[in-house]
Structure 1
Amino acid sequence: MGSPSKPSSLAVRTLHYYWQATRRHKALFFGLIAATIGFCGLLTYGNPYVMSLVVDRVSAGSVPADQVFSVFGPYIAALIVINVLGQTCSKLQDYTLWKLEIAVNYDLATMAFDALCNQSMSFHSNRFGGTLVAQTSKFMSAYNQLIENIQFPFLPIICSIVFTCTLLLPVVPAYVAILMVLLVGYAAISYLMYKRILHLNEKAASAQNQLSGELSDAVTNILAVKTYGREDYEKGVFDQANREVVERDSIRMKSSLARGIITAAVTVVIMGVVTVFISGGNAWFGITPGTLVMMFTYTVTITNQFNFINTGLQRFNRAFGDASGLTGVLDEPRLVADVPNARPLKVARGAIDFEDIGFWYADGEVKTQVFNGFNLRIPAGQRIGLVGMSGAGKTTLTKLLLRLADIQEGRILVDGQNVSDVTQQSLRRQIAYVPQESLLFHRSIAENIAYGRPGATREEVREAAAQANALEFIERLPDGFDTLVGERGIKLSGGQRQRIAIARAMLADAPILVLDEATSALDSESEALVQQALSRLMEGRTAIVVAHRLSTVASLDRIVLLADGAVAEDGPHARLIERDGDYARLWSRQTGAYLE
């Protein structure tokens, strides 16, 4: 990650992303602006203008009762037309605003989802899932705040300035000049104070995101919280984050109130000057009563609207602060990205080659070397076991094959095709991955099994479940294949979840299989059922099995012992035992070891 962006830079970047989504719906956006201008101009300025003409006519002399409609008829008609058109603009304003927010929020949600789904695992490993969800929600809500803020008060303020100058400048230019000078001063003070507190809103939003992350972390791991009796500790962690939110919000509140007091004082000065000018307008300049009414009405209107500058800027502050979290995420470079014009991977046999692999993890300035000049060839259809001490690079090797992280040196080939040159989706669709902790969605069992092949029929799903030794327990459930498994499959046991994951891999029918400690967390009975299912799954496929328990890989075609990111021993189980090296010593240490 780069250095944090300045608040102003983040605001510009946020507007960039918002405009990317808005420009797809330009008709609605410009329709909203036109409707707002029409509404403001007609109802706020058209009505007082016509009424000033009526006042001037009344001031010119009394009108006989039988001539009221003939004299004032045009004014009455003008007011009716103005109000009909103004109310029409008002309803168009509501319609275009709602339609625009609905359409753009869809695009923003898609933008955020794509960005999060296409980021690397390193990115997600360093962030709270709950924080990312909260940031996405705030990013979408902030757009609504911004667009509504443009609709009111800022667009009406601009309209007020334009209409006031247009209608009054030809009649009382000196008054308009004085009013504009005062309002420019007001706006300048508001903007300067706005810039001073912009960073406070981002800090407040950051505190809110941290609070959401802490809550999500505790709820996600609620079983650990309860079984270790750590409710009080987690409450303390949450309370600390909550107090940070209160502190940041309090600082923001005090700064906003101080700004409001200063601008309110400026408003009082403006109204004082304007009142003196209007009071002496007729005596000093011979201004007509109707024009004086129009001047006062317009001045009160424009001053009241300028009063909302504080509220509007505060909303801008809050919106940009709320959006800053996801803006930073959208600005993050893709650590793993498809090359331009990447082609789909086509696997005919499933041979895998790791050639001169160099890979290291970088944490700031610190680099942790995992592989340096690593080489390994896996012929098509061969089943190999990856074993070794923790930290030897077993799981990292499978992640590099799946391109969950990118190598810095060398290349990885699948059937002679460099995985860096093909699309990530096509690569991963050719590899069935079964991890130690099965990855289930809070959906039905059938949907979870069919995840790797969404178009599968119910009969195909059932057959995959049978092959994975899962059919018996599924049919015992009240809703069978339609049973919802709960978040992360919490309603099922570990062995049941793993068999669902294996059924998914079977249905995906990929030519390459990666098993990462797929049985290490199971009891003996569950392990036996899962091992049977895995044996069926590995038939006719290139299989890479990561394991700590050597008994789970002893029957495979080949075993590769990794040590310090290099191949220490390589061969079938029997040959490695005969060699009496590190593998043989590991085997002898594991009590209850057996070879099926």
Structure 2
Amino acid sequence: MASGKSATSALPNKGDRRNKGDRTTIRRTLHYFWRVTRQKPGAFALSIISSVGYIALLTFANPYIMGLIVDRVQASPVAPDQVFSVFGPYILGLLVVNAVGQTLSKLQDYSVYKLEINGDYQLSRLCFDTLSNQSMTFHNSRFGGSLVSQTSRFVSGYAGLVDVLTYALWPTVASVILTVGMLAPTAPSFVAVLMVMLVLYVVLAYRMYQRILVLSANASKAQNKLSGVLSDAVTNILAVKTYGREDFERETFTVANREAMVAANANMRASVQRGFMTSFLITVIMFIASIFVSGGNAWFGISAGTLVMMFTYTYNLTMRFNYFNSMMARINRALGDAAEMTRILDEPTLVEDDEGAPALKVSSGDIDFEHIGFRYPDAPADDKVFEDLNLHIPAGQRVGLVGRSGSGKTTLTKLLLRLDDVQEGRVLVDGQDVSHCTQQSLRQQVAYVPQEALLFHRTIRENIAYGRPDATEDEIRSAARQANALEFIERLPRGFDTMVGERGVKLSGGQRQRVAIARAILVDAPILVLDEATSALDSESEALVQDALENLMRGRTALVVAHRLSTVASMDRIVVLSQGAVVEDGTHHELVEAGGEYAGLWSRQTGGFLEGDAADAAEAAED
């Protein structure tokens, strides 16, 4: 029993693991923030110097000079005609102190602007680079709206931390040092008591800060979830309206909104509780200060000017520590807001280029899948999509990939494009292992047309020229003509300058697909991947798109994924996949004659044609 108890006690509990994870996240967040800050060492140094100088002059030098004036007034009367001769140096000193102090105040603002502008730029780029380089597995499991929200919160977290350091922390530290330095020679016992109270204040505030940090992170996480729910509903607003699901989406949003409110309330209650406790300590400190000021002259012979200075310094210091409460709350908020994006930045990149990886060079377009083994990273170890799959596609051949849903057709195209990396085997293009070439060079050699056209909320011209932004107007028009898109584009009021809307919603499905095909034609890549490029179109649009695809495939190695077998009946070759394996391989006629899985699929899609009818259909498709 004893040994069992010991073993159990040695295991970290869930709370310990969570706290350790939170501390690690904080360290990593500060690492990213410091990496950006040290790019502007001058601005960072100026923020400290200006903050300390501003406090030293306006908060400490001003009361000091006023204390000297009080002592001089108390020493002996000053005749009216001697005011400027006696107090002139003090007045001049106050003028200089305030002029320099105000200048430092503006330099303080300048340094903050410099740090925050640089931080906004560098951290936004860091987040964008990280998100754009992550695999599709990563993106498919996350809300796009949440990622945008997390990026915004990460960047604003840095700005919040810069603000709190410059306007609160550095002035507070300077206030403590200057208070001790100015008062210790005349009131050492008072300074000792003051320091004990302030240490107690800091310890109490920090312990409560550790608890509130978790609550701040929870509140930030709930807000990011709320942003994701809102983004999901707005992005799919057509589905919401056409299915009459406004009430359901409203309830989903309300639940997420309520969770965000509960998390924010928990954070607020803890912050207010800490505020009451720390305010009590501030009151005690001021009570002690009032006793020392009242008896300072009688007990210790301290002059009236020094007593005024003592009270002013103590009051200013307690106000600074009163801000310490809000300062810790703002640090909590900044680090809590940044926490989720920090974890994303620290996630391993599932698809990453080798250091110094060469660019892929395609001369002909041969494709080889050699002994491919693959499973998705979030799938169980025994749940493989492919195991020892082999497939050779000669240059210039048009190959159709068919099979039931889940057979691995689309996954195979993703492995070719390195949207995911294989765990076993190799994908070769002209004998080059794509996993050892740069991703950008690979994808620049492959024109990809998916089932749903991927259009940006930009002009038609920009969307067509996306893969070749340096294309001429004539080249863009020629690509649109070959894609059977020129006619409808020229009918639009603004032609090629028409904004297509988010994801191309201002265009019909057939129009969007033809714009996407025009983009692929303009790229003129040696390898073409079509993933269900016509399955969602009506008959008229499909005929136009099919004709455009014929233009696109001419002279290229083409890999065509299709559920609608009429799409691939005219291909040079058809590969049938089942449960991640190649089960049939041949021309349409050969596979129908074989009477295997493809023949069964063809029969079901064509309404049970006889073999001769199937052959006629194949001939028609080829024509």
Q: TM-score, normalised by structure 1?
A: 0.98
Distance, in Å, in 2 between the alignment partners of 1:121 and 1:398 is 13
Aligned equivalent of 1:496? 511
Q: Which moved more, 1:359-368 or 1:61-70?
A: 359-368
Deviation at 1:67, TM superposition (A): 2.4
Secondary structure in 2 matching 1:567? strand
Deviation at 1:263, TM superposition (A): 0.8
Find 1:527's aligned residue among 542, 563, 571.
542
Distance, in Å, in 1 between the alignment partners of 2:471 and 2:113 is 39
Summarize the alignment of residues 457-476 of structure 1 with structure 2, pairs less than 5 Å apart.
457-476=472-491
Q: Which moved more, 1:29-38 or 1:552-561?
A: 29-38
Distance, in Å, in 1 between the alignment partners of 2:126 and 2:377 is 28
Q: Are 2:419 and 1:404 aligned? A: yes
User: What one-letter code is carried by the residue in structure 1 that aligns with 2:389?
Assistant: F
User: What one-letter code is carried by the residue in structure 2 that aligns with 1:548?
Assistant: H
User: What one-letter code is carried by the residue in structure 1 that aligns with 2:502?
Assistant: E
Aligned equivalent of 1:106? 121
Deviation at 1:171, TM superposition (A): 2.1
Q: Structure 1 regions of 5+ residues with no counterpart?
A: none
Q: Which moved more, 1:318-327 or 1:441-450?
A: 318-327
Deviation at 1:65, TM superposition (A): 2.5
Q: Are 2:494 and 1:484 aligned? A: no
User: What one-letter code is carried by the residue in structure 2 that aligns with 1:104?
Assistant: G
Structure 1 residues 276-335: Cα deviation after superposition (integer angstroms, max 9, x where no partner): 111111111111111111100000000111011111111111111111121111111101
User: What one-letter code is carried by the residue in structure 2 that aligns with 1:76?
Assistant: I
Aligned equivalent of 1:8? 23
Aligned equivalent of 2:3? none
Q: Are 2:150 and 1:157 aligned? A: no
Distance, in Å, in 2 between the alignment partners of 1:391 and 1:88 is 68
Aligned equivalent of 1:53? 68
Aligned equivalent of 1:376? 391
Distance, in Å, in 2 between the alignment partners of 1:62 and 1:362 is 87
Aligned equivalent of 1:246? 261
Distance, in Å, in 2 between the alignment partners of 1:25 and 1:414 is 45
User: What one-letter code is carried by the residue in structure 1 that aligns with 2:330?
Assistant: R
Secondary structure in 2 matching 1:384? strand
Q: Which moved more, 1:144-153 or 1:485-494?
A: 144-153
Deviation at 1:366, TM superposition (A): 5.5
Find 1:341's aligned residue among 338, 349, 356.
356
Secondary structure in 2 matching 1:358? strand
Aligned equivalent of 1:392? 407
Summarize the alignment of residues 53-72 of structure 1 with structure 2, pairs less than 5 Å apart.
53-72=68-87
Summarize the alignment of residues 559-570 of structure 1 with structure 2, pairs less than 5 Å apart.
559-570=574-585
User: What one-letter code is carried by the residue in structure 1 that aligns with 2:199?
Assistant: V
**Are the equivalent residues in 1 in contact too, given 2:157–2:335 (CA < 8 A)?**
yes
Find 2:199's aligned residue among 152, 166, 184.
184
Aligned equivalent of 1:427? 442
Summarize the alignment of residues 100-249 of structure 1 with structure 2, pairs less than 5 Å apart.
100-249=115-264
Distance, in Å, in 2 between the alignment partners of 1:585 and 1:205 is 54
Structure 1 residues 497-556: Cα deviation after superposition (integer angstroms, max 9, x where no partner): 000000000001111000000001011111111111101111111100001111111111
Secondary structure in 2 matching 1:361? coil
**Are the equivalent residues in 2 in contact too, given 1:445–1:483 (CA < 8 A)?**
yes
Structure 1 residues 80-134: Cα deviation after superposition (integer angstroms, max 9, x where no partner): 1111100111111112212221121011111111111000100000000000111
Find 1:506's aligned residue among 515, 521, 527.
521
Residue 364 and residue 345 in structure 1: after superposition, are their counterparts in 2 closer, same or farther (change >3 A)?
A: closer
Q: Are 2:559 and 1:544 aligned? A: yes
**Are the equivalent residues in 1 in contact too, given 2:466–2:519 (CA < 8 A)?**
yes
Deviation at 1:69, TM superposition (A): 2.0
Secondary structure in 1 matching 2:383? strand
Distance, in Å, in 2 between the alignment partners of 1:513 and 1:196 is 55
Q: Are 2:600 and 1:585 aligned? A: yes
**Are the equivalent residues in 1 in contact too, given 2:403–2:409 (CA < 8 A)?**
yes
Q: Which moved more, 1:184-193 or 1:465-474?
A: 184-193
Find 1:439's aligned residue among 428, 451, 454.
454
Find 1:44's aligned residue among 54, 59, 66.
59
Q: Are 2:111 and 1:96 aligned? A: yes
Q: Are 2:361 and 1:355 aligned? A: no
Find 1:555's aligned residue among 552, 564, 570.
570
Q: Structure 2 regions of 5+ residues with no counterpart?
A: 1-16, 608-613
Aligned equivalent of 1:417? 432
User: What one-letter code is carried by the residue in structure 2 that aligns with 1:26?
Assistant: P
**Are the equivalent residues in 2 in contact too, given 1:362–1:368 (CA < 8 A)?**
no
Structure 1 residues 123-166: Cα deviation after superposition (integer angstroms, max 9, x where no partner): 00000000011111111111111111112221111010111112
Distance, in Å, in 2 between the alignment partners of 1:342 and 1:366 is 29
Residue 324 and residue 160 in structure 1: after superposition, are their counterparts in 2 closer, same or farther (change >3 A)?
A: same
Deviation at 1:455, TM superposition (A): 0.7
User: What one-letter code is carried by the residue in structure 2 that aligns with 1:561?
Assistant: V
User: What one-letter code is carried by the residue in structure 2 that aligns with 1:499?
Assistant: R
User: What one-letter code is carried by the residue in structure 2 that aligns with 1:353?
Assistant: D
Q: Which moved more, 1:295-304 or 1:321-330?
A: 321-330
Distance, in Å, in 2 between the alignment partners of 1:458 and 1:159 is 63
User: What one-letter code is carried by the residue in structure 1 that aligns with 2:540?
Assistant: E
Aligned residues: 594
Structure 1 residues 25-70: Cα deviation after superposition (integer angstroms, max 9, x where no partner): 2211221221111111111111011111111111211122232222
Deviation at 1:367, TM superposition (A): 4.4
**Are the equivalent residues in 1 in contact too, given 2:510–2:545 (CA < 8 A)?**
yes
Runs of 4+ in 1 over 3 A off after TM superposition: 364-367
Distance, in Å, in 2 between the alignment partners of 1:367 and 1:473 is 50
Structure 1 residues 455-493: Cα deviation after superposition (integer angstroms, max 9, x where no partner): 111111111000100000000000000000000000000
Deviation at 1:574, TM superposition (A): 1.6
Q: Which moved more, 1:576-585 or 1:10-19?
A: 576-585
**Are the equivalent residues in 2 in contact too, given 1:361–1:367 (CA < 8 A)?**
no
Distance, in Å, in 2 between the alignment partners of 1:138 and 1:426 is 33
Aligned equivalent of 2:273? 258
**Are the equivalent residues in 1 in contact too, given 2:115–2:162 (CA < 8 A)?**
no
Structure 1 residues 236-287: Cα deviation after superposition (integer angstroms, max 9, x where no partner): 1111111111111111111111111111111111111111111111111111
Secondary structure in 1 matching 2:376? strand
Aligned equivalent of 2:4? none
Deviation at 1:364, TM superposition (A): 6.2
Structure 1 residues 186-216: Cα deviation after superposition (integer angstroms, max 9, x where no partner): 1111111111121111111111111111111
Deviation at 1:443, TM superposition (A): 0.3
Q: Are 2:283 and 1:268 aligned? A: yes
Deviation at 1:580, TM superposition (A): 2.0
Distance, in Å, in 2 between the alignment partners of 1:553 and 1:191 is 68
Distance, in Å, in 2 between the alignment partners of 1:13 and 1:451 is 36
Residue 261 and residue 134 in structure 1: after superposition, are their counterparts in 2 closer, same or farther (change >3 A)?
A: same
**Are the equivalent residues in 1 in contact too, given 2:137–2:376 (CA < 8 A)?**
no
Distance, in Å, in 2 between the alignment partners of 1:360 and 1:580 is 31
Q: Are 2:39 and 1:24 aligned? A: yes
